[in-house]
């Protein structure tokens, strides 16, 4: 059911936003400055864009690798599947965007007790994985049509499980991709990302002949990642 919801949302966004952007373009060309020369219009447009940040809304779908992990005496194997997501990006410096990202994977996970003499029964549960991330996206080069980029973010991952307790985990994400614009306002976004939900495993402190040392230690629930692609709507 959730997969159907995200599919409908994806279709609505990709269908309605282009019409909105076209309407905005029509309003601009038929407004009070319609009697200006093309050179004057271009100058006004350039000055206006200098004072306004670029905003991008991206929606995508792709293939996500679920990963495996051992935790609390159980072994888990999360099935790969189709994921859905989106990002709101706001430019705050030259070629650099602040970006909020959401990503969803609805799938299943096989699990069993580990470290037992007799292999226990393998069980299966439904699991919904939700990533909420805040980070930066940096564009390499100054080409307006083809824009390679890298991204890094931190946030939270929520594992909603139907047969076991839900999990809330601190997480990080690294990725790279390319944006290709066909017009000033519409393009596509292709990307690959590495995702790591983590758990706190403790604090260590030691004293020795070389001095003292200490730190906090983290472990990974699963090593996940995806390849995805979608549409970008840009407002400049």
For residue 156, what is the domain's CATH number? 2.40.160.20
The more confidently predicted of residues 54 and 42 is 54
Per-residue tokens: 224? 């996940």
Instruction: Give the chain's domain count.
Output: 1
The answer to whether residue 144 sits within a structural domain is yes
> Residue 186 pairs with which residues in a beta bridge?
233
Predicted confidence (pLDDT) at residue 52 exceeds the cutoff of 90: no
* The pLDDT of residue 73: 76
The answer to whether residue 219 sits within a structural domain is yes
Predicted confidence (pLDDT) at residue 116 exceeds the cutoff of 90: no
The answer to whether residue 21 sits within a structural domain is no
The answer to whether residue 29 sits within a structural domain is no
The answer to whether residue 22 sits within a structural domain is no
* The pLDDT of residue 235: 92
The answer to whether residue 48 sits within a structural domain is no
Q: Which DSSP symbol is given to 115?
A: S
Predicted confidence (pLDDT) at residue 153 exceeds the cutoff of 60: yes
CA 231/CA 148 separation, integer angstroms: 15
- Domain limits at 139? 54-235
The answer to whether residue 46 sits within a structural domain is no
* The pLDDT of residue 44: 65
Give the confidence band of 222 by pLDDT, cuts at 50, 70, 90.
Answer: confident
Spatial CB neighbours of 224, under 8 Å, sequence gap ≥ 6: 64, 65, 66, 67, 78, 129, 194, 195, 196, 197
Predicted confidence (pLDDT) at residue 20 exceeds the cutoff of 60: no
The answer to whether residue 34 sits within a structural domain is no
């Amino acid at each position: 059911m959730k997969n159907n919801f995200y599919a409908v949302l994806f279709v609505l966004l990709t269908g309605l936003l282009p019409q909105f952007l076209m309407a905005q373009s029509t309003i601009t060309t038929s407004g009070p400055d319609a009697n200006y020369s093309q050179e004057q219009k271009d100058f006004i447009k350039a000055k206006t864009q200098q004072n306004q940040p670029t905003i991008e809304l991206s929606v995508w779908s792709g293939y996500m690798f679920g990963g495996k992990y051992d935790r609390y005496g159980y072994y888990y194997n999360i099935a790969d599947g189709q994921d859905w997501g989106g990002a709101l990006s706001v430019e705050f410096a030259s070629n650099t965007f602040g970006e909020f990202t959401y990503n969803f994977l609805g799938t299943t996970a096989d699990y069993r007790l580990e470290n037992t003499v007799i292999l226990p029964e393998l069980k299966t549960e439904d699991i919904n994985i939700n990533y909420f991330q805040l980070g930066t996206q940096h564009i390499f080069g100054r080409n307006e049509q083809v824009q390679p980029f890298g991204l890094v973010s931190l946030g939270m991952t929520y594992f909603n499980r139907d047969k076991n307790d839900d999990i809330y985990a601190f997480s990080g994400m690294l990725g790279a991709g390319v944006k290709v614009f066909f017009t000033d306002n519409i393009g596509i976004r292709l990307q690959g990302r590495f995702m790591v939900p983590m758990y706190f495993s403790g604090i260590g402190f030691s004293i020795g002949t070389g001095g003292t040392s200490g730190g906090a230690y983290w472990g990974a629930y699963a090593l996940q990642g995806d390849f995805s692609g979608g549409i970008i709507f840009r407002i400049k």
